[in-house]
Chain A
Amino acid sequence: MKILVCISNVPDTTAKITFTDNDTRLNKNGVQYIIGPYDDYALARGVELKDQTGGTLTVLHVGEAEADPQIRKALAIGADDAIRVNADPLDSYFVAVQIANVAKQNNYDLILMGRESIDYNSGVVHGLVAEMLGIASYSPVMKLDIADGSATISREIDGGKEILKAPLPLVLGCQEPIAEWKIPNMRGIMTARTKPLTVVEPVSVDELTVPEKYFLPAPKGACKMIPASEAATLIRLLQTEAKVL
Chain B
Amino acid sequence: MSVLIYVELDNGSIKKTSLEAVAYGAKVAEKTGDKAVVLAIGRADATALEIAGNYGASKVLHAADDKLSHENSLAYADALAQAAEQEGSKIIILSKSGLGDAMAARAAAKLKAGVVSNVTALPEINGSFKVTRGIFTGKAFATTELKSDIKILVIKKNVIEINEDDVASANAVVETFSPQLRDADFQASVVNVEKASSELSLTEARIIVSGGRGMKGPEHWQPLVDLARALGAATGCSKPVSDLDWRPHHEHIGQTGIKVAPNLYIACGISGAIQHLAGVNGSKCIVVINKDPEAPFFKAADYGIVGDVFEILPKLTEAAKNL
The answer to whether A and B come from one shared complex is yes
**Binding-face segment, B25-33, B130-138, B211-219:** B130-138
- Chain A residues whose CB sits within 8 angstroms of the CB of B319 once the complex forms: 231-236
Query: 8 Å CB contacts to B: which residues of A203-221?
Result: 206-217, 220-221
Q: Cβ of A123 and Cβ of B101 under 8 Å apart?
A: yes
Query: CA separation between A124 and B94, bound complex, in Å?
Result: 13
Chain A hits for B184, CB < 8 A:
134, 136
Please name all residues of chain B whose beta carbon is closer than 8 Å to the beta carbon of A212 when the two chains form the complex.
130, 142-145
Q: Are B116 and A37 in contact (CB under 8 A)?
A: no
Tell whether B303 is near chain A: CB-to-CB under 8 Å: yes
Bound form: Cα–Cα A235–B323 in Å: 8
Contact mask B1-37 → A, CB, 8 Å, 1/0? 0000000101000000000000000000000000000
Q: Is A71 an interface residue (CB 8 A)?
A: no
Chain A residues with CB under 8 A of B46:
none
For A93, give its contact among B108, B303, B306 (CB under 8 Å): B108
The 0/1 profile, CB within 8 Å of A marked 1, for residues 123-164 of chain B is 000000010001111111111111110000010000000000
Asked if A237 is an interface residue, CB under 8 A from chain B, the answer is yes
Q: Verify A161–B98 contact, CB threshold 8 A.
A: no
A51 beta carbon closer than 8 Å to chain B: no
Query: Can you list, as one digit per residue, whether each of A145-158 has a CB less than 8 Å from chain B (1) or not (0)?
Result: 00000001000111
Given the interface contacts A118-B136, A211-B142, A237-B303, does A164 sit within 8 Å of B188 by beta carbon? yes
At the interface, yes or no: B238 with Cβ under 8 Å from chain A?
Answer: no
Q: For A125, what are the chain B residues with a Cβ–Cβ distance below 8 Å?
A: 105
Contact B134–A245 (Cβ < 8 Å): no
Pair count A-B, CB < 8 A: 277
B73: Cβ under 8 A from any A Cβ: yes
Pair B199/A159 contact, Cβ less than 8 Å: yes
Instruction: Pick out which of these stretches binds chain A: B58-66, B85-93, B171-179, B284-292.
Output: B284-292
Q: Bin the interface of chain A by size.
A: 35 or more
Say yes or no for B187: interface residue by CB 8 A criterion.
yes
Cross-chain contact of B287 among A134, A232, A238 (Cβ < 8 A) = A238
Q: A121-B134, A131-B105, A136-B187 are in contact. Are A238 and B110 (CB under 8 A)?
A: no
Q: Interface residue count for B (Cβ, 8 Å)?
A: 97
Residue interface bits B273-307, CB-to-A below 8 A is 1, else 0:
01100100100110110000000001111111111
A163 within 8 Å of B by Cβ?
Answer: yes
Residues of A within 8 A of B185 (CB): 136
Q: Would B320 and A235 count as touching, CB distance under 8 A?
A: yes
Q: Is B113 an interface residue (CB 8 A)?
A: yes
Q: Is A56 part of the binding interface, using a Cβ–Cβ cutoff of 8 Å? A: no
A127 touches B71 (CB 8 A): no
Contact (A13, B101) CB under 8 Å given A124-B117, A160-B250: no
Check A195 for interface membership: any CB of B closer than 8 A.
no
B195–A159 contact, CB under 8 A? yes
Query: Which residue of B194, B196, B264 contacts A238 across the interface (Cβ within 8 Å)?
Result: B264
Report B's interface with A, CB cutoff 8 A: 8, 10, 71, 73-74, 77, 97-99, 101-106, 108-110, 112-118, 130, 134-148, 154, 184-185, 187-197, 199-204, 207, 231, 249-250, 252, 255-256, 263-264, 274-275, 278, 281, 284-285, 287-288, 298-308, 311-312, 315-316, 318-320, 323
Interface residues of A (CB under 8 A from B): 11, 13-14, 17, 19, 37-38, 91-93, 96, 116, 118-128, 130-132, 134, 136-140, 142, 152, 156-167, 175-177, 206-217, 220-221, 223-228, 231-239, 242, 244-245
28 A-B residue contacts at CB 8 Å?
A37-B256, A91-B114, A92-B115, A96-B109, A122-B115, A126-B102, A127-B106, A131-B105, A131-B106, A136-B187, A139-B101, A139-B102, A140-B98, A159-B196, A159-B204, A167-B187, A175-B256, A208-B146, A209-B147, A215-B141, A216-B141, A220-B302, A223-B303, A226-B303, A226-B305, A228-B308, A242-B302, A245-B207
